[in-house]
Chains A and B, each alone.
Chain A
Amino acid sequence: KQEVTQIPAALSVPEGENLVLNCSFTDSAIYNLQWFRQDPGKGLTSLLLIQSSQREQTSGRLNASLDKSSGRSTLYIAASQPGDSATYLCAVPHASGGSYIPTFGRGTSLIVHP
């Protein structure tokens, strides 16, 4: 059974800092890994999806890397802004009954203060 762990659970930083959020998973036979953002009381917004054959993906100030063999992914946020404050979730899907069902981590709650 896939287990997904995210460290740290919470992070509070001043504006402008570069950040690294960590995600680890126990079963390295993955299809992809996805990072989401969740604002308080809201739904999930997909940030980046890294296919199992890829090492990293970039979108603006976000960069996600994937190391399948060690079961790790990192989300790097450059020059953080107060608008980046949210919970960041990583999810790893597994094949089941014709569907690909993601297992989510608990998330890293990020606060960027001005």
Chain B
Amino acid sequence: EPEVTQTPSHQVTQMGQEVILRCVPISNHLYFYWYRQILGQKVEFLVSFYNNEISEKSEIFDDQFSVERPDGSNFTLKIRSTKLEDSAMYFCASSESGAGTDTQYFGPGTRLTVL
């Protein structure tokens, strides 16, 4: 069964460094998403992406974040200058359509630790 994959599974970085989290969505899916989950907290929406553009972003997704689909398979989240509070699990998801009736399929996550 097709699945969303994410790399790396765990990333440790120093405060102020840039990190890139990578995702490979399911191949025929057109909508892509990033979420984060701070330890012990709710899963929070960051950004949705369709047709090479951001279609929606939350207030968390400020100027230090960016997303890109550099080729036909990868979808990346870049954090420009990491802060301690960016430590969290980051989940990528994809869906076939953006319809409210559609299911989003989630990847296993990348645990980001900022020291």
Which residues in A have some Cβ–Cβ distance to B below 8 Å? 31-32, 34, 36, 41-46, 49, 51, 89, 91, 93, 95-107
List B contacts of A41 (CB < 8 A).
89, 109, 111
Q: Which of B48, B50, B89, B105 contacts A101 (CB 8 A)?
A: B48
Contact digits for B16-35, partner A, Cβ 8 Å, 1 yes 0 no: 00000000000000010100
List A contacts of B50 (CB < 8 A).
98-99
**Of B70-78, B80-88, B95-103, the one touching chain A:** B95-103
Determine whether the beta carbon of B106 is less than 8 Å from that of A95. no
Assuming A31-B100, A43-B107, is B55 touching A98 (CB within 8 A)? Answer: yes
List A contacts of B65 (CB < 8 A).
none
23 contacts between A and B (CB under 8 A): A34-B103, A36-B106, A41-B109, A41-B111, A42-B109, A43-B91, A43-B106, A45-B106, A46-B104, A46-B105, A89-B43, A97-B48, A98-B50, A98-B55, A99-B50, A99-B55, A99-B56, A102-B45, A104-B44, A105-B42, A106-B41, A106-B42, A107-B42
List B contacts of A42 (CB < 8 A).
108-109
Determine whether the beta carbon of B42 is less than 8 Å from that of A104. yes
List A contacts of B33 (CB < 8 A).
99
Distance (Å) between the CB of A2 and the closest chain B CB? 11
- 8 closest cross-chain pairs (CB), A and B: A31-B100, A97-B56, A99-B48, A43-B108, A44-B106, A104-B43, A100-B100, A99-B56
Determine whether the beta carbon of A43 is less than 8 Å from that of B109. yes
List A contacts of B6 (CB < 8 A).
43
List B contacts of A51 (CB < 8 A).
101
CB-CB nearest in chain A for B3: A43
List A contacts of B105 (CB < 8 A).
46
CB-CB nearest in chain A for B97: A100
